[in-house]
Amino acid sequence: MKTRKRGGRILGEGAFSIVIYPAIPCKDGRDMTTKVSRVIKRTHRDVRNLEMNLMEHNEPLLSALKKIDPNQKYFFYGEPCELGELLPENKEDGIEDSDKQFSEILEKGGLTLRNYIKHHPLTKTQIKHIVTGINKLHKNGIIHGDVYSRNIVIGDDDMPRIIDFGHALIGANSVIINMEKKHIKRLFPGSNTYNNKYWYAPLLRKEVYHYVLAHPELGLVYHISEQEM
């Protein structure tokens, strides 16, 4: 976690966006204590603004996620919100009014999975939690489309949550769902020891597989799930 000399905290920063706390307030005055704002970087808006607009207006997807996981036990998904005035901390962090349309409100998580495993070995329960979340999506005809270590965060309860549904597809048929499963399995050779070195290596190296269906580390998750769930 980064703390600026002035302003709030940058909880996460990826290639395309930053996650800031405190969140940009909603006009309806809702409690924002447990919320963060994900803001698309200005240098990537030509590529990502379509994704953000699709997520904001994709009511069927949001409704499906709320139905599948109303308490956000497995996923942190964007919430509808008409944004109000920027906080002083937001402004001091360089956020401007023009940035609002490129942001979304999310539940506040902790470290990304990528950073978490550098200091904490994952438990069997945590791994199965990820598997359960992915299986819930697939059973409801949804593929995430961009599952990897930076799109999984650790919640306050120490359990992982899948985030960033900008590439998700609702109404996926069995062929597409099986494609996602096969990519996850194929990109990792698998091991029956869930917390050995083979789990960590793909997570710690640079990701090169983008805008596709999966990332190497989830192959081991599925390998375990098929044997033990």
Out of 69, 91, 107, a domain closes at 107
Residues contacting residue 134 through CB under 8 Å, at least 6 positions apart: 144, 147, 162, 184, 218, 221
* CA dihedral sign, ordered 36, 9, 38, 71: negative
Asked whether residue 146 falls in the same domain as residue 183, the answer is: yes
Out of 78, 107, 136, a domain closes at 107
Number of H helices, E strands in the chain: 8, 9
Task: Give the domain CATH number at 22.
Answer: 3.30.200
Containing domain of residue 15, as a range?
Answer: 2-107
Three-state secondary structure string covering 94-145: CCCHHHHHHEEEEECCCCEHHHHCCCCCCCHHHHHHHHHHHHHHHHCCEECC
Out of 54, 77, 107, a domain closes at 107
The residue with greater pLDDT, 62 or 70, is 70
The mean per-residue pLDDT over the stretch 148-156 comes to 84
Could you give the 3-state DSSP secondary structure of residue 170? strand
Asked whether residue 98 falls in the same domain as residue 136, the answer is: no
Q: How many domains does the chain have?
A: 2
Asked whether residue 92 falls in the same domain as residue 14, the answer is: yes
**Does the global pTM surpass 0.75?**
no
| pLDDT over 80 (residue 2) | no
Asked whether residue 12 falls in the same domain as residue 46, the answer is: yes
Which tens digits make up the pLDDT trace of 107-123?
A: 888 888 878 888 887 88
Phi and psi, residue 105, nearest 5° = -95, 130
